[in-house]
Amino acid sequence: MTQINCGDDANCNGPNCCTPRTSRNSPWKTIAFVVVILAAVTVAAYSMLTRGTDGGCSTPCGNILSVEAWNEKLSGYDFAFVVLLGSDQSLPEELSESVVSASIKIESKKLRTRTLILHPDNPGFAEATNLFKVAEYPVVIALAKSNSVVVTRGTYSETELMRAYEQASAVSCCPSSGPK
C-alpha cells in the first residue's frame, strides 16, 4: 500500500489536508442529464406522432386535397382516420393523441394505418362536408379498406376511435339497403 507523506506539502495545514475530497454531483451534471433525457423523450414522441406521414408535415397528420385523393393516398393501407377541421381550427392535442393511440393499437394487429387531415381551404372539403353531412368540427372519419365508413362526432377518445375502427372494419353479412 502506498503511503502519502502529507507533511511535505507546504499548503497542507491540519488534519484534513490528506483526506481525499468527497465526490459530489455537480448541479450542472444533473441539469445536463435532465436535458438529455428530455431531448430523447421529445424525439421519441415526435417520431411516434409523425410516423407514416408525409415529410415536413407540421401536424401528426398528412394533408389531402380532395375526397378523390383519398383512394390514392390510402391505397397501401388497411385503415385510415381522416380528420376534417373547421375554419381557423388547428388539430386539438387531445384528438391528435387519441388518433395516434388508436393507430398504434390498430397497427399492433399487423394492419397498416394512415391518418390524414382535410382543411376547409382544400378543394374537396365542401364535397366531404356534404357527403358526410358535417355541421360541427372537428370530425373524424374512419375508413376501412373495404370502403366502409364511420363518422365520429363530438367525442374523440381512443375508445371512441377504436369503436369506429371496429365498426368500419366489420364485414357486413347483410346486403346493402341503400338506393339501387
Helix (H, G, I), strand (E, B) or coil at 176: coil
Average pLDDT of the chain, as a whole number: 73
Domains of the chain (ranges; CATH) run 62-169 (3.40.30.10)
Q: Which residues lie across from 83 on neighbouring strands?
A: 117, 140
pLDDT digits (tens, 9 = 90+) for 85-122: 888 888 888 888 999 999 999 999 998 988 888 888 87
pLDDT digits (tens, 9 = 90+) for 121-164: 876 677 778 888 888 888 898 888 877 788 888 888 899 999 98
For residue 166, pLDDT over 60 is answered with yes
pTM: 0.56
For residue 43, pLDDT over 80 is answered with no
Q: β-pairing, 139-144 with 113-118?
A: unpaired
Helix (H, G, I), strand (E, B) or coil at 152: strand
Q: Which of 38-42, 56-60, 66-70, 110-114 has the highest mean pLDDT?
A: 110-114
Residue 29's φ and ψ, nearest 5 degrees, are -65, -40
